[in-house]
Structure 1
Amino acid sequence: MASNKAHHATGWAAGVIAAALVAHAGAGGPYQIVSFLSFVAGVLGGTAPDWLELAWWSRRRRLWITHRTWTHWGIAWLGLLAYAYLALPSQFWAAPLFGFACGGVMHLLADWPNPLGVPWIAGRHSLKLWKSGRCDLIVVTAAWLTAGLVADHVFFQNVHAHKALAFVRALPACS
């Protein structure tokens, strides 16, 4: 599993992605308030698969279900993401739900590279790239690059991505 700090950082990136996609779908509401709500929900969703396992009703705050089982199930998070996205144009509640699901999916993507893996469909699957808590910088950087690309596409029609690509092509090593 990625560290708690990595899940928080990738949750913020998921919030940016969610807010941009909600605005792109035309469901941002007056003064983009609904987009902001989807951003906040994305930040909360970035850590949700872990805190949903806690027994909040007990004093000990122990896990009420085994770690990385139901709350980390990929099909459920992807289904919630698709359902909320399809409901965006017509339902107010869909935007925060979409943000929350974006955060949950980002959490699963951050947990996927380590040996414990994530139960995407039936069993756990792992990319087996590194042990838990290591290489968090790679995960966080990938999340924020994705957030930047999505925001650039939605708000600036890929202007910054095209300029960055032109800069890389102009480098001497790429000639």
Structure 2
Amino acid sequence: MTARREHLLDLAELVLEREGLDGFGVHALARAAGIKPPSIYKHFAGAADLQHALISRWFRRLAAALDAAESSIASFAAAYRAIALAAPQLYRLATYGPLDRALLDPGAERAALAAALRLFGEEEASDEDHPRARLAWAAAHGLVSLEIADRFPPGTDLDAAWRALAAALSG
């Protein structure tokens, strides 16, 4: 990947967090970079390519965080939550809506899933056969999505909810 493309992806993350999913796109990135939109196409085939490059980055960032976490459900949950809350708009881009896996960097999604698979001893499982890892991922996604959307009643102890999730998955 070229240094210019990496710089544009860094800038795209900032624009995405500032503008949100609805205000993000090639034109918003071009404005922030001080260039004309067609110049973006020298580095990305289109909006979907730009989005999937960001999604690939997010998967790799999650993989690194999960790999660095202790081998426990509580650590998995804490790492997942931290990555999501650190860049909520990037999280939404990466986890909401359809995903064209052909546009992802090879191995990016699998790298993130691999940490969860190891945690549950499912690393040797086929792509279709890892129910506990999928359950952990889905439960963490649901909890953090509601947290990002501010859907919990005021005063809710979200840390307690995350501890309950870890306890339920550990049993």
With structure 2 as the length reference, what TM-score do the two structures score? 0.30
Name the structure where helix makes up a greater proportion of residues: 2
With structure 1 as the length reference, what TM-score do the two structures score? 0.30
